[in-house]
Amino acid sequence: MLIFNVLLQELRDAYANLEPKHEREINDLMNSYKKSYPEWVFILRCGFGLLMYGFGSKKFLIEDFASSALTDYSVVVINGYLQQIHLKQVVITLAELLWDQLKMHGKTTWENVPKNQQPFNTKSMDDLIAFLDGPHLEDKECFVCVVVHNIDGPGLRDSDTQQYLARIAACSHIRVVASIDHVNAPLLWDKKMVHTQFNWYWLHVPTFAPYNIEGTFFPLVLAHSGSAQTVKTASIVLQSLTPNAQSVFKVVAEHQLAHPNEEGMPLNNLYTICRERFLHLKSLYRRSANRNFLLHLLLKARSTGYLSTDDCSIIVESQNSGSGGPNFVLDMMRWRQY
């Protein structure tokens, strides 16, 4: 691990010393986008959401657009590149900002309850979204703008979060400006979410800017930095394996759960069960699937003698997970349903 950290620091230092290229062309490109700011504001006022895509980080572009062209509106920023996002707290903030705008227009709800006594924190997500979508004002230009950097980021990528974001975007007093970077990001949404709820207006805005800030929060895939990252790493490896190899790993996981006091599963037992389930497992160490397990530390082989298969066992590697082997296996099986 020490050698890895040294190499990583050397890589960062080398990257920091790289001289930027094509600065003039990139500045001209950014200035051309700034000329489109009034058009983008008009699109938001028409009820659409802005979805920006293209090569390069769009964080600076979106923040510049929000700070210079959306000064007449309240803006809430969600950094989707973070590992965890507290979405309900975001919705509570949106409700509070909308409440302030309603007070400015002389329109209040919930029987004119003072702001310091508003029960926003005690409301459910459904109640908060209903408040954001309420017919409080006839003026449709009264809205709160939500800026989402990397709406396809790790903290927002699960299905439930995307469903909530779509419901928020569909509210009459909410407008969304978001960016995506993953090539398969549109697969997060169905037809209703794209055309009815988010109501995206797609903008191709390549900036060719480095992902300096976003990349800081992305841990290396194979870096064991904690139990959550270990489970996530294992999930990525499992998804890349064939169904047969996944089934073999499931056999080992089931044995771990059924025998928590044992160090692992004897190879002979594994061969027998795989044969009963018609799983292809001629040689544990020669099959490429099992080499993947071993290389990524999902499985660990132990032998007390040379070619002594009776004393060999396979255990789930959990020394970096912060929990016992059986609990780690349980987390793995919950992470991906087979």
For residues 291 and 311, the model is more confident at 291
Can you read off the two tokens belonging to residue 249?
């790993």
User: What does the domain layout of the chain look like in residue ranges?
Assistant: 26-216, 227-335
pTM over cut 0.75: no
The answer for residues whose C-beta is within 8 angstroms of residue 199's C-beta and 6 or more apart is: 47, 48, 49, 169, 170
Query: Can you say how many angstroms the Cα of residue 208 is from the centroid of all Cα atoms in its chain?
Result: 22
Residue 163 reports pLDDT greater than 60: yes
* Helical segments of 111-242, H only: 125-132, 159-169, 191-192, 212-216, 227-239
CB of 205 closer than 8 Å to CB of 279? no
How far apart, in whole angstroms, are the C-alpha atoms of residue 250 and residue 268?
A: 16
**For residues 305-329, average pLDDT:** 45
Reading the block at residue 150, the tokens are 């990397």
Structure tokens at 83: 């590992």
Higher pLDDT, 159 or 110: 159
Residue 249 confidence (pLDDT) = 75
- Give percent of the chain above pLDDT 70: 67
Residues 6+ apart with CB under 8 A from 63: 77, 147
Q: What is the pLDDT of residues 197-253, one digit of tens each?
A: 999 999 999 999 988 888 776 654 444 445 555 555 556 566 656 677 778 777 877
Q: Which two tokens stand for residue 197?
A: 């709820």
Rounded to whole angstroms, the Cα distance separating 241 from 46 reads 46
pLDDT at 267 over 90: no
Sheet of 144-149: strands edge to edge? Answer: 74-79, 144-149, 174-179, 49-53, 200-204
| pLDDT for the residue numbered 10 | 78
Distance CA 78, CA 100 (A): 20
CATH code given to domain 26-216: 3.40.50.300
Assign 51 to helix, strand or coil.
strand
pLDDT, greater one: 316 or 192: 192
Q: Tell me if 265 sits within 8 A of 252, measured CB to CB.
A: yes
Counting residues of the chain whose pLDDT is more than 90, the rounded percentage is 32
Asked if pLDDT for residue 314 goes beyond 50, the answer is no
For domain 227-335, the CATH class is mainly alpha
**CA 186 – CA 28 distance, rounded (Å):** 29
